[in-house]
């Protein structure tokens, strides 16, 4: 009896059965937890938006703080105007999900300095923190190993920097991963000029140790990630990014906000 149970056939059968049970368990957990994961991702994004507005959410209800302070608005990047809904995927500012944009709501890029995979969405959600006079722009671009996803906060009147955060990337901890460090992020709170009077992008993220006055000092030992941040910032503030929204028709944000 013991011999039969220990047979090669039984060993394989037991292993196969265990594999099936485990895979069913893992798949069921993954599917069952997806909505909670999505919710946590949304909350993390909100936490990051609050953080670039210097709203401490560590001890508070993130959802409530977000609702009390932040207004999401949908922007047509081409025209620089606010819109209520995307034309094809019918998304609003509150329901916006980048991954659910229709293919027709992307623009093919002839030049792709930020490394966006050759295409850019036509619509984006920006966040207005009226009390702090801040505007939070979603930003992303290629580092060395990964795409960096984050938010840049700028002053709503003069567009100087107020804060930056990267909530998703896979750069090396201690090297490119320092984009997330307080030392790097605190520089963005120093109100550096981003655009000149003509709306031209003037902000520079310099190689580590080489920043001039008004520039952001890059990451030591991580020149490629640093260059990635420099390029993505210039891209998103420039004419192909939020430029038309920020300086379209020569207007300042405070005028745009009334529309």
Ligand X SMILES: Cc1cc2nc3c(=O)[nH]c(=O)nc-3n(C[C@H](O)[C@H](O)[C@H](O)COP(=O)(O)O)c2cc1C
Q: Which is nearer to ligand X, 118 or 221 (CB)?
A: 221
Is residue 232 part of the contact set for ligand X (CB under 6 A)? Answer: no
Tokens found for residue 236: 């998103």
- Shortest Cβ 163–ligand X spacing (Å): 22
d(CA 206, CA 203): 10
Q: Which is nearer to ligand X, 145 or 167 (CB)?
A: 145
Is residue 87 part of the contact set for ligand X (CB under 6 A)? Answer: no
* Residues 110-149 close enough to bind ligand X by CB under 6 A: 144-145
**Comparing C-alpha atoms, which of 244, 168, 152, 252 is closest to residue 203?**
152
Identified binder of ligand X from the candidate list 87, 117, 118, 221, rule CB under 6 A: 221
d(CA 33, CA 28): 8
Task: Name residues whose C-beta falls within 8 Å of residue 241's C-beta, 6 or more positions apart in sequence.
Answer: 77, 120, 235
Identified binder of ligand X from the candidate list 171, 194, 240, 242, rule CB under 6 A: 171
Identified binder of ligand X from the candidate list 172, 180, 199, 215, rule CB under 6 A: 172
Determine the residue with CB nearest ligand X: 176
Is residue 48 part of the contact set for ligand X (CB under 6 A)? Answer: no
Segment contacting ligand X (CB under 6 A): 43-51, 55-63, 156-164, 171-179?
Answer: 171-179
Is residue 223 part of the contact set for ligand X (CB under 6 A)? Answer: yes
Is residue 43 part of the contact set for ligand X (CB under 6 A)? Answer: no
d(CA 176, CA 222): 5
H-helix or E-strand spanning residue 75? strand 71-76
Dihedral sign (CA 44, 76, 231, 158): negative
- Shortest Cβ 147–ligand X spacing (Å): 13
Number of residues that bind ligand X (CB under 6 A): 12
DSSP per-residue codes, 107-164: EE-S--TT--TTEEESEEEEEEETTTTEEEEEEEEE-SSSEEEEEEEEETTT--EEEE
d(CA 242, CA 245): 5
Is residue 176 part of the contact set for ligand X (CB under 6 A)? Answer: yes
Q: Which is nearer to ligand X, 122 or 226 (CB)?
A: 226
Is residue 206 part of the contact set for ligand X (CB under 6 A)? Answer: no
Segment contacting ligand X (CB under 6 A): 27-35, 42-50, 152-160, 215-223?
Answer: 215-223
Identified binder of ligand X from the candidate list 70, 139, 222, 232, rule CB under 6 A: 222
d(CA 140, CA 133): 23
Is residue 189 part of the contact set for ligand X (CB under 6 A)? Answer: no
- Shortest Cβ 51–ligand X spacing (Å): 22
Please, what's the b/e burial string for 221-233 (b: 16 or more CB within 10 A of its CB; e: otherwise)? ebeebbbbbbbbb
Q: Which residues contact ligand X (rule: CB under 6 A)?
A: 144-145, 171-172, 175-176, 208, 221-225
């Amino acid at each position: 009896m013991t011999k039969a149970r220990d047979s090669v056939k039984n060993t394989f059968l037991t292993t196969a059965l265990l594999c099936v049970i485990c895979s069913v368990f893992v798949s069921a957990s993954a599917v069952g937890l997806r909505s909670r994961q999505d919710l946590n991702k949304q909350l993390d994004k909100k936490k990051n938006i609050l953080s670039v507005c210097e709203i401490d959410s560590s001890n508070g209800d993130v959802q409530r703080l977000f609702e009390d302070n932040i207004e999401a608005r949908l922007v047509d990047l081409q025209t620089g105007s606010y819109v209520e809904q995307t034309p094809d995927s019918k998304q609003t500012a509150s329901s916006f999900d980048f991954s659910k944009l229709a293919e027709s709501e992307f623009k093919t890029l002839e030049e792709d300095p930020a490394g966006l995979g050759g295409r850019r969405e036509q619509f984006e959600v920006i966040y207005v923190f009226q009390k702090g006079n801040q505007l939070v722009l979603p930003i992303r671009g290629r580092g060395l190993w990964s795409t960096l996803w984050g938010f840049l906060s700028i002053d709503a009147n003069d567009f100087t920097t107020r804060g930056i955060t990267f909530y998703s990337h896979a750069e090396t901890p201690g090297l490119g991963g320092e984009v997330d460090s307080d030392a790097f992020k605190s520089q963005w709170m120093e109100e550096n000029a981003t655009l000149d009077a003509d709306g031209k992008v003037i902000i520079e993220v310099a190689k580590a140790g080489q920043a001039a006055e008004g520039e952001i000092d890059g990451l030591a030992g991580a020149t490629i990630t640093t260059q990635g941040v420099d390029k993505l910032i210039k891209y998103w503030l420039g004419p192909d990014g939020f430029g038309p929204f920020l300086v379209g028709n020569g207007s300042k944000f405070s005028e745009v906000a009334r529309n």
